[in-house]
Structure 1
Amino acid sequence: MALCGYNGLLIYATYQNCDPLTTKLAKARDQLLPLFVMKTLGELPGMTGLFIAGVFSAALSSLSTCLNSMSAVVLEDFVKPYVKKPLSTSAINWIMRLVVVGVGVLCVCLVYVVEHMGTVLQLTMSLEAITNGPLFGIFTIGLFMPWINGNSALLGGIMGVIAMSWVSLNAQWAIASGAITYDTKPLNVEQCDYSFNVTTSLANTTHLGASAEVSNNT
């Protein structure tokens, strides 16, 4: 989180007087970091490729861990308890592979949903809250409240997931629909060193740099 905050400060300091979103150089906030990397490291051979390789390697390492963990959980908690005969090694391998493929396909399909629900980081933090809160409660019960039995803890966890899902998903829907908006820091395009077109109205005035081309729509 500290690194993300530091990156945000660097990006704001760099583009404070030439907002790429206003000039349409970037279409979404998630594109600001790659744009920043291209601007600062684009002249150094191989650095942008190294950045892309680092992003993909970090994403793939996390994804592979999650997929392997998910397949193991499904096998141990949802398959083995309901199978009377011990599973062979071949059957276990096929079950885990099918789970990985199924979860992977689901993740790919959810990409089309995520792109309409705000920035990736904000969405990730909101969705993590759905499970992190109930998990913290269950672990707290196990450590400090031994008189609570397993069924009660499970029921409490399920109710916590339902409650947090309602809060988080409603918040994401409100953000996606524009019902919830956040104030941003002041930005302008006065020091842009490239040409762009901006459509403005009488109520909204945009200040442009010397090299900018403006198309006023009154």
Structure 2
Amino acid sequence: MAGTYDNEEQRMVDRIKCIAFREARNEGATFINRQWIAQKIHRTTRFVTEWREKSYDECFADYSKSGRKLKLSEASSDIILNASGKQGKSSYIVAKEIAEKQNEYVVRKTIDNYRSREGLKPFHVIPKPLKTETHISNRLWFCDWLKDWTEEDFLHLAPSDEFYVWIVRRPNYQNDRVWAKSIEDIEDDERYREMVKNQVCIGIFGIFTAKKLRWVIKDKGESWTG
């Protein structure tokens, strides 16, 4: 949302605006909310949430080391490598960590390039099947509840659902992304798959009764709008 003008100096200005708008809201401008501020400064609501409750002094940074770095320091490189194989370590988060710990300001693209040179690839989380004891118990209860239904009872049901079929499961949120050289380097969870750009999928909306089944297929995965 920030556009091509975005840089650390502009971010400082927008941080100050977040705080100023919050103060105006506290003084009675009740129409001001996170979404309103985000639209005014062309930032995300996450940016607004992060900065609106802070003090003005926290908005300023040392720009003597800002700008695109030609070479990462050894300490910064170690931070990037230590973040490998861990969830919640996107390039944006790692850049903030480097700024806080090393007082070095790097852009996300620099970290992406470094990870690529080191042979790291992005993986995303694949949720585990819902097969806990609670899920199994709930499904057994539902089956037991339906066992005495008659054919006439089922005629009054018309279940429906919308779902997508992906050749490779779509990427999840940034915090679900894990950078590693291979799946074997990711600890504690084997359910990860390498990310693929522009995955092919279809969207399916289905509704059925005891007598009929109807469906609509969107070959490019668009949402069903009725």
Is TM > 0.5 for Structure 1 vs Structure 2?
A: no
Using structure 1 for the length normalisation, give the TM-score.
0.21
Higher RCO (C-alpha under 8 Å, 6+ residues apart): 1
Higher strand share: 2
